[in-house]
Amino acid sequence: MIGFVTNLLLLVFLVFILALVIRARRLFAVVVLAGAYSLVSAAMFVNLDAVDVAFTEAAVGAGISTVLFLAAMAYLPGQEKPAPDEGVINSTLLAALICVGAGILLIAAAIELPVIGDPNAPAHVHVAPRFIEESGSFLHIPNVVTTVLASYRGFDTLGETIVVYAAGLGVVILLSGHTRTARTIISSVKSVTTKTGRRPSASKTAKKVKSEKTFKPGKRGKNG
Amino acid sequence: MGENPILRVAAKILFAPIIVFGLYVQFHGDYGPGGGFQAGVIIAAAFILHSLIFGLAAGRKLVPAWLNFAMLAAGVLIYGGVGVAGMVLDGLFLDYNVLLADPSAGQHIGILGVEFGVGLTVTAVMLALFHAFAGFSEARFSHDGSAEDSSPDGKDA
């Protein structure tokens, strides 16, 4: 009962944070609120006895993501652009309709779900009993989550690790100026200026040229 | 942020305990909540804190780019290597039972090795992401903000 009430309170808090996120126009506030959202979700996971998930949510969602968002925010304007006036009512109405519809569908689906912790739930009668019994008695590893993650589902985790690796590599390659577009810009800049420079300075110039190319027409379009 | 003495001292004091906590989470994952993913993020947080307070150049001195990318690949290779080790020892891919004579001990070693690989890759990815984002903006702003010919070469690495 207490768990249910706590969850309800946390859920209300999540909705409150979401409302603040929707209202906020400053991106800094949005990023910090997103971190707070993750922290409240982590508290909710703790309440649901999913400590490992809560740990990950707190470390990744509330910790590193916030820092990375702040670092990435440097490329964005500080304020969200206000929506244009005409057609707002129609698009908002449509969005609200879709959201309410999807929400009703999700709630309808959730009613069918088994109660939390129900030992007879389909998910708990298939392979889970074997995992729980073996992990303690045979493998002597008390944390079943670790056994499932690293041993029983080791192949999944290998895939996850490769996804993390590929994602990190992709972002670094995109931002480091080694892409074909950046190289073309660098070579064009090099042919114009006599400055030879090492790669970092060349890529800097490339970024500047790129930003000028992309930003100037937009400004003109807005003014004219 | 590096000018504030409170932040500098706090960062210096916190740096080692954060890493120790990360290692605890890494190697205590068998017995409590935690594991490679969480530990990797926590250890990366220590280095990111260092970079935030003392500047990107200092952070890059601590973990050079080549080391960062080596860690990135080494984590996945360690994971795969544990799997292949099972195959070499007449088992299946990612079969830890054959790693040691005692299957239970083999599972322990296998899980530790795999989690270590995960932690290494996650740490390296988080660090690389942070340095890619933060370094990119620093380069852009220093170029846009300062005079054109002030040759900012060598400041970022």
Interface test with A, best of B31, B125, B138, B142 (most A CBs within 10 A): B125
Chain B residue with minimal CA distance to A142? B31
| pTM higher than the cut 0.90 | no
Mean pLDDT of B54-79: 91
Predicted pLDDT at B78: 94
Residue A213 has a pLDDT of 42
Which of A24-38, A76-90, A196-210, B22-36 shows the lowest mean pLDDT across its residues?
A196-210
Per-residue pLDDT at B53 exceeds 70: yes
Specify the higher pLDDT residue, A222 or A71: A71
pLDDT at A100: 95
Judged against a pLDDT cut of 80, whether residue B103 lies above it is answered with yes
> Which whole-number Å values give the CA distances from A5 to A12, A39, A175, in the listed order?
11, 18, 46
Bridge partners (DSSP) listed for residue A79? A26
The C-alpha of A168 sits at a distance from chain B's nearest C-alpha, in angstroms, of 5
Q: Is residue B152 pLDDT above 60, yes or no?
A: no
Contact B29 A56 (CB under 8 A): no
**pLDDT tens, A127-168?**
888 888 888 777 788 888 888 888 888 899 999 999 999 999
Give the model's confidence band at A193: pLDDT under 50 very low, under 70 low, under 90 confident, else very high: low
Radius of gyration over every alpha carbon of chain B, rounded to an integer in angstroms: 20
CA-CA distance, B117 to B107, in Å (whole number)? 15
Q: How far apart are CA A153 and CA A156, in angstroms?
A: 5
Give the pLDDT score at A204.
47
